[in-house]
Structure 1
Amino acid sequence: MSTWESPDAPPHLRLGPAQWAVAVLRAVPLALLVFGGLAVLLLVRLVEAPIHGLHRPWTPHITRVVCRTALILLGIKFRSKSSPMSQPGAVVSNHCSWLDIFSLNARKRVYFVSKSEVAKWPGIGWLARATGTVFIDRDPKQARAQKQVFEDRLLAGHKLLFFPEGTSTDGLRVLPFKSTLFAAFFTDNLRDKLYIQPATLSYSAPGGGDPRLYGWWGDMEFAPHLLQTLAARPQGLITVTYHAPLKVSDYASRKELALACEKIVRGGLELTPEAQEYLSAHG
């Protein structure tokens, strides 16, 4: 899977004693929250799984509380516009950062679709598996099995969330949507029942800072970016805009539906004056 690359070097924050102190003061309670929440979730799942099977009526609420609290501990402001849909189906969004997980879970009960490699990542992989993430393999031989997993989860009432760009960016743009995963919604069992809700993630860095502060792309390593995010002071704002759901059966093909979602998501992107100035200068 290819990753998006910027022609310009990513932002780099030099950490002095004050920044290190802020990072540590945020990191300790954040780690306790995330891994403490994971422990509670796994314990609840031990009871939930035998009773409800594939359905998860309890544990997603734990995930949502943890993610919303995590943003508070990071000091990042959060707001959402409009409402998550009540219809069955999936959500598609632009992809900016690992922070997307917290942002999109903070308001809506969703299950992420992620590449299979993520399941092997220390820490993040454990969290992803515990919260019901659907892992997909790039091997074409697995396509039919993965399609069946999609159908089973959707028919169980799960709202799947995936990033059709296929890669993360600096948060200042929306890349063309790949239509591959949209094919799962056009089966005879699902097409007339499901809706797709486009959602736009907009990251606003604190005034005067690099507008790409929260973007995580290319070969950027997770640990330095996490440290930079923890140390940032003041912090910025994350806005999630939920757009009107699209009925799958209103579209003739997966490519047509993917393009419609792409245009809506791109149209909802909110950029600060600093971000607009950066794009004018660097493209």
Structure 2
Amino acid sequence: MAETWQSKSAPPDCRLSGLGWLRVVLRAIPLSVLVFGGLLILLAVRLVERPLCGLGRPVTPYITQFVCRMSFVVLGIRYTSEGAPMAGAGAVVANHTSWLDIFALNARKRIYFVSKAEVARWPGIGWLARATGTVFIRRDRSEVQSQIAVFRDRLAAGHKLLFFPEGTSTDGLQVLPFKPALFAAFFDPSLRQTLHMQAVTLQYHAPAGADPRFYGWWGDMDFAPHLLATLAAAKQGGVHVIYHAPVQVADYSDRKALARAMEDQVRAGLKPGF
């Protein structure tokens, strides 16, 4: 079973008012059309793109990027960013707060998530993840070599692979210690000397007057109530994405040193009360 982070205090109350339910409907309908309509277009384009380009995806990532950026417009959540996304293939790491991270990280730059295998079986999210090229892995040491082979192939195709080294999501007010295990794959001789890695900080700020943890999704919280609470918000907050300067994997002695460096960059970008 996947490890989850638990807060010492209860999560925000998700009870909805009558007006809240109205806002759910008014936002859910266009959001569903956008997301699932975009998915159908992506799948149709991929039918042509895949036999012609294989792992290469010259068109479909732009569809994903458009859908994710417009989702924030539909939700009314402010989206801002700073810094420059890394050019070329490489690995990206970020702190993990919510299912909204998927939209926030795809909105500005075309990336491919590295996710635990279980996500592929989740209704809705699993379908979207598979369609957008997510790399699914099992947290099993016996499969490290096969993971390296997959990473090598995807990086050779020019992909940026993003993973969440905390291993779980939080309330968005902190950064958990990065787990170094997955960093080991990038120290393979076929990757280490040329691979660059970029740290990204996701900073959520709650709607005015709401619990600062409003957008956090953690522990035993169910997806549906959290989604409904987000859709029902009378006023929305925002998300700020910070792209830190990329580093070269070869500059670090081992996976633990690299994990600490990436964690420090992400943590430094998380500003209390932003």
Q: How would you bin the TM-score normalised by the shorter chain?
A: over 0.9
Amino acid aligned to 1:122: P
Gapped regions of structure 2 (runs ≥ 5): none
Matches within 5 A, 1:199-210: 199-210=200-211
CA contact (8 A) 1:87 1:195 kept: no
How far 1:270 moved relative to its partner? 2.4
- For the residue of structure 1 that corresponds to 2:241, the secondary structure is strand
Cα distance between partner residues in 1 of 2:127 and 2:102? 14
Cα distance between partner residues in 1 of 2:37 and 2:265? 37
Q: What is the CA deviation profile of residues 208-242 of structure 1, one whole-angstrom value per residue up to 9, with x for unaligned ones? A: 11000000001100000000000012000100000
Kindly report the root-mean-square deviation, in angstroms, between the aligned alpha carbons of the 2 structures: 1.0
How far 1:253 moved relative to its partner? 0.6
Aligned length: 273
Cα distance between partner residues in 2 of 1:49 and 1:147? 22
Partner of 2:57: 56
Matches within 5 A, 1:129-140: 129-140=130-141
Partner of 1:35: 36
CA contact (8 A) 2:14 2:225 kept: no
Q: Does 1:218 align with 2:209?
A: no
- TM-score, normalising length from structure 1? 0.95
Partner of 2:116: 115
How far 1:167 moved relative to its partner? 0.3
Q: Does 1:19 align with 2:20?
A: yes
CA contact (8 A) 1:119 1:125 kept: yes
Partner of 1:141: 142
Amino acid aligned to 1:161: L
Cα distance between partner residues in 2 of 1:134 and 1:172? 28
Gapped regions of structure 1 (runs ≥ 5): 274-283
- For the residue of structure 2 that corresponds to 1:92, the secondary structure is strand
Partner of 2:82: 81
Cα distance between partner residues in 1 of 2:69 and 2:110? 12
CA contact (8 A) 1:95 1:167 kept: yes
Cα distance between partner residues in 2 of 1:118 and 1:242? 26
Cα distance between partner residues in 2 of 1:247 and 1:209? 40
Cα distance between partner residues in 1 of 2:15 and 2:110? 37
Amino acid aligned to 1:134: V
How far 1:271 moved relative to its partner? 2.6
Cα distance between partner residues in 1 of 2:122 and 2:268? 33
Cα distance between partner residues in 2 of 1:140 and 1:181? 10
Partner of 1:180: 181
Partner of 1:72: 73
Amino acid aligned to 1:43: A
Cα distance between partner residues in 2 of 1:143 and 1:210? 40
CA contact (8 A) 1:110 1:159 kept: yes
How far 1:268 moved relative to its partner? 0.2
- TM-score, normalising length from structure 2? 0.98
- For the residue of structure 1 that corresponds to 2:259, the secondary structure is helix
Cα distance between partner residues in 2 of 1:48 and 1:204? 38
Q: What is the CA deviation profile of residues 188-214 of structure 1, one whole-angstrom value per residue up to 9, with x for unaligned ones? A: 111111111000000000121100000
